[in-house]
Amino acid sequence: MNTALLSRFDLVFILLDRPNAEKDKYLSEHVMALHSGVDKSVRVDWNSGFNSTDILSESSLSLQKRLQLAPNESLDLIPKKLLRVYIAYARKYVHPKLSSEAKAVLQQFYLDLRSKHKNDTTPITTRQLEALIRLGEARARAELREIVTELDAKDVIEIMNSSLLQTYEDEDGILDFTRSQMGSGMSKRSEINRFVSHLSKISQIRFNNIFTTDMLLSAAKGKLL
């Protein structure tokens, strides 16, 4: 997917189906329960590192930590019919507004992101800021609240960061917004850097930093060393 189209999405997550015996077991049990008509509550113990004594206050924990279930805690899913009514009500009657604290948090994140990537070929624009605002409003609307709080803003930033890292993080752990331009997800910039590094190694071996066109083509194909 090219960068122009990808930028139209507020959030992008890459889902990888990595085999995990424990999670596969729970997922298969849940699917079987759905099709057999038995109790649909799911008992999940995926977060063995969870320690309830670590909880100081809700606001001090990340969204990911707050969403984790304690060992042996059951996940009581909301019935589909009730969930549809809830969502319809929230869409129609709940129209959250940003608090001053939420505005400050979102604006600072946007400015930091923009300053760090101002020289990228696909720069951070107001589109990302608008996405943050929409996500903040959605976060508050999910709890039928009319005000987007500072905690809502922090939750949204955590989600946005996770999306950006999954989609644009390069091999060095740096956000690279050119990654989607190659189709395969490979960063053109990373390819260029590797090629230049390869040429540097060759020049050190040959004690000569002058390359002909044929030598450059051979190096690009990995045939020159």
Convert the pLDDT of each residue in 76-125 to its tens digit.
788 999 999 999 999 999 999 999 999 999 999 999 888 876 665 556 77
**Which residue do the tokens 């930590």 mark?**
65
Predicted pLDDT at 126: 86
| pLDDT band at 184; cut points 50, 70, 90 | very low
Residues 6+ apart with CB under 8 A from 60: none
As a whole number, the mean pLDDT across the chain is 76
Q: Are 175 and 190 in contact (CB under 8 A)?
A: no
Average pLDDT, stretch 121-134? 81
Average pLDDT, stretch 195-217? 83
CB atoms closer than 10 angstroms to residue 66 = 13
Structure tokens given for 204: 């050190």
CB atoms closer than 10 angstroms to residue 56 = 8
Q: Are 152 and 102 in contact (CB under 8 A)?
A: yes
Angle at 123 between CA 121 and CA 126, to 5 degrees: 155
Q: Who has greater pLDDT, 171 or 222?
A: 222
| pLDDT band at 48; cut points 50, 70, 90 | very low
Q: Are 119 and 103 in contact (CB under 8 A)?
A: no
Average pLDDT, stretch 139-166? 90
Amino acid occupying residue 149: T
For residue 128, pLDDT beyond 60: yes
Among 41-55, 88-102, 132-146, the minimum mean pLDDT is found in 41-55
**56 to each of 47, 53, 129, 149, 201, how far by Cα in Å?**
18, 8, 31, 19, 53
Average pLDDT, stretch 134-146? 96
Predicted pLDDT at 200: 83
Distance CA 160, CA 175 (A): 12
Q: Who has greater pLDDT, 140 or 161?
A: 140
Structure tokens given for 7: 């930028």
